[in-house]
Amino acid sequence: MLSSATTRADEPRGHAESWWREGVIYQVYPRSFQDSDGDGVGDLAGIQKRLGYLARLGVDAIWLNPFYPSPMLDFGYDVCDHADVDPLFGTLADFDALLADAHAHGLRVLIDFVPNHTSSEHSWFRDARSSRTSSKRDWYFWRDPRPDGSPPNNWASPFGGSQWTLDERSGQYYLHTFHPEQPDLNWRNPDVERAMLDVLRFWLERGVDGFRIDVANFVLKDPQLRDNPPNPTAGTSSYKYLGHYDTQLHLHDKGHPDCHPLYRRIRRLLDSYSRDGSDRIALGEIHLYEWPEWTRHWAAYYGEQLDELHLPLNFTLVGLRWQADAFRAAVDEIEAVLPAGAWPNLALGSHDESRIATRIGREQAKVAIMLLLSLRGTPILYYGDELGMEDVAVPVDCARDPFGLLDPALGRDPERTPMQWDDGPNAGFCPAGVQPWLPLADNHAAVNVARQRDDPDSPLALTKRLLSARRSIAALRRGDYEPLDAPGGCFAYLRTLEGERVLVALNYREEALELLLPDRGRILVSCRPGRDGELVGRTLHLQSNEGCLLEVGESRTSKGVSTPIAAAEG
């Protein structure tokens, strides 16, 4: 990244014009990153204490999950006040200090914006539910029961049951996509839009660099609230099965075309706060996985003129089997549907998904990190994945997540356990003698930052080498992507930019592999330590679960033409 003499004190050092295209976003789950006040729950001051680690790791931005005042039924996705900090996490002054210090470390800060619903404890909802004539009544969805007393339509909630709950006092049902304590806001009421855009302004004025928008495409629904049809592909998706929710094709409770003009308005607001080199961005969570041709609908959230979301989140890779051809097909499909000039984004996990090392295995997870950090697109790295942290089996009586209370198999606690910093008490997350809010992994004495820092074979060392390669090689940050036809079990591609040419070869299998390369090369980073810098002739040997990034000489390929690389003979 360029360093600039004109950088202002309140902006990150060394910004590039498209920081959000070239940079790596690191997701911090505030409850679980670092406890600074000894209550067993992470907080903003704790995150601030660890900024040096993040800067040294080599990421460019952090995204913080919600830290707003909340009853924490859905761990902050049930917001009571959008313009404050829950005392559990600190104060607004702590947020300002964290933001300023992050910027001083060269890190951008994205925060979670939760537009679809509030907590039922939010003053808006308390007011709305107080009477049918409340001035806030129409800020939420209220409908009379059907003649038989049942809910107004068939919409099923991912948290189980109906999306409607009867409010006994007024005799009407209110809508909640998720938990009954998370009533949905009615964005068709202009006052709601005005109030929520003011929330964005509040944080933009404080200097945040953008927002991760929770369930961005859920905010506008069918105006007639029609029933959802059955889902003809129920149970066939590789994405986790949510039972009753997945028996419906969610055509009418999300993804209404009116979302698009709304995101154009939000984009205009963000742009009005963007200055040269300092885009304020929208990273929107888009869930459409059961829709026919969903990738086309997903891509539409970039906007026809690239005037909606900078990065509509894409979780394609999370649901895939660990197979080279499945990954190549998924990446190629994303590339094929992207509007001209749009920029992909990639994630291997999040606070909602089983950890990558648990899903595919420890060695395989290193190959996956290499994939994440070398494909075309903005990588989003979930905290702890750089260590190969694994899901932690949380006993049923300690379960905290509302999903898990519904069905232990769906619980998201296992992927939200405390960050493993060192081999001291509570892994350095909270002081000795304090009980962390979720149990630590049993392996925390072996799998932690302090241990891995000195181990060249560790996932952390690999992640650092990859992030450092991204910093020095522009082709990795912004080059074209060209898939290569490789032997079974291998996903290989070129990243090219002007004269720079980086070949990535990933062995998905448990057996060694030999590849015939289009040209000679030099290994920049291998998942196996000790190979960096190795010169390779036309034959590349990959051990089981080994990935390599190679600088290759001039090749005879031209953009868009697939270069076969054969299995080496003999």
Query: Contacts from 506-510 at CB under 8 Å and sequence distance 24+?
Result: 506/324, 506/367, 506/370, 506/371, 506/547, 507/367, 507/542, 507/543, 507/544, 507/545, 507/546, 507/547, 508/322, 508/323, 508/324, 508/327, 508/364, 508/367, 508/545, 509/544, 509/545, 510/544, 510/545
Reduced to 3 states (helix: H, G, I; strand: E, B; else coil), residue 162 is: strand
If binding is defined by CB under 6 A, does position 413 make contact with ligand TEU? no
Contact flag: residue 240 with ligand TEU (CB under 6 A): yes
Q: Which is nearer to ligand TEU, 118 or 555 (CB)?
A: 118
Provide the edge-to-edge strand list for the sheet that holds 61-64.
Answer: 311-312, 281-284, 210-213, 108-113, 61-64, 25-28, 378-382, 345-347
Encoded tokens for 176: 């909640």
Kindly state the smallest distance separating residue 386's Cβ from ligand TEU, in Å: 21
196 binds ligand TEU (CB under 6 A): no
Smallest gap from residue 66 Cβ to ligand TEU (A) = 9
User: Taking CB under 6 A as the rule, does residue 492 contact ligand TEU?
Assistant: no
Among 96, 121, 138, 352, binds ligand TEU (CB under 6 A): 352
Q: Which is nearer to ligand TEU, 214 or 482 (CB)?
A: 214
Total residue length of the chain: 570
Least Å distance, CB 270 to ligand TEU, is 21
Q: Would strands 172-175 and 164-167 be described as parallel, antiparallel, or unpaired?
A: antiparallel
Nearer to ligand TEU, 237 or 443 (CB): 237
CB contact set of 4 (below 8 Å; sequence gap of 6+) = 14, 15, 277
| 57 neighbors 386 (Cβ within 8 angstroms) | yes
214 binds ligand TEU (CB under 6 A): yes
3-state SS class at 482: strand
214 counts as catalytic: yes
Beta strand residue intervals within 405-520, DSSP E: 480-484, 490-497, 500-507, 513-516
Of 33, 125, 178, 429, which lies in the binding site for ligand TEU, with binding defined by CB under 6 A? Answer: 178
The reply on whether position 215 binds ligand TEU by CB under 6 A is: yes
Q: Which is nearer to ligand TEU, 115 or 479 (CB)?
A: 115
285, 290, 308, 401: which one is catalytic? 285
514 binds ligand TEU (CB under 6 A): no
**Alpha-carbon dihedral angle through residues 315, 318, 322, 328, given to the nearest 10 degrees:** 0
Residues 104-163 close enough to bind ligand TEU by CB under 6 A: 114, 158
Q: How far is the CB of 179 from ligand TEU (least distance, A)?
A: 8
# binding residues, ligand TEU (CB under 6 A): 12
Among 60, 74, 181, 390, binds ligand TEU (CB under 6 A): 74
Q: Residue 523 carries which DSSP code? A: E
Closest by alpha carbon to 527, among 511, 539, 542? Answer: 542
Nearest distance from C-beta of residue 412 to ligand TEU, angstroms:
7
CB-nearer residue toward ligand TEU: 279 or 415: 415
Given a contact cutoff of 8 angstroms between Cβ atoms, the answer to whether 27 and 383 are in contact is yes
Which one from 43, 181, 214, 253 is the annotated catalytic residue? 214
Name which position in 19, 67, 77, 140 contacts ligand TEU (CB under 6 A).
77
Q: Of 21, 122, 136, 287, which one interacts with ligand TEU (CB under 6 A)?
A: 287
112's tokens: 């979670």
Please list, in sequence order, all residues whose beta carbon lies within 8 angstroms of the beta carbon of residue 431, skipping any fewer than 6 positions away: 35, 38, 425
31 binds ligand TEU (CB under 6 A): no
Select 99 or 219, whichever has its Cβ closest to ligand TEU: 219
Q: Which residues are catalytic?
A: 214, 285
Q: Which residues bind ligand TEU (CB under 6 A)?
A: 74, 77, 114, 158, 178, 214-215, 240, 242, 287, 351-352
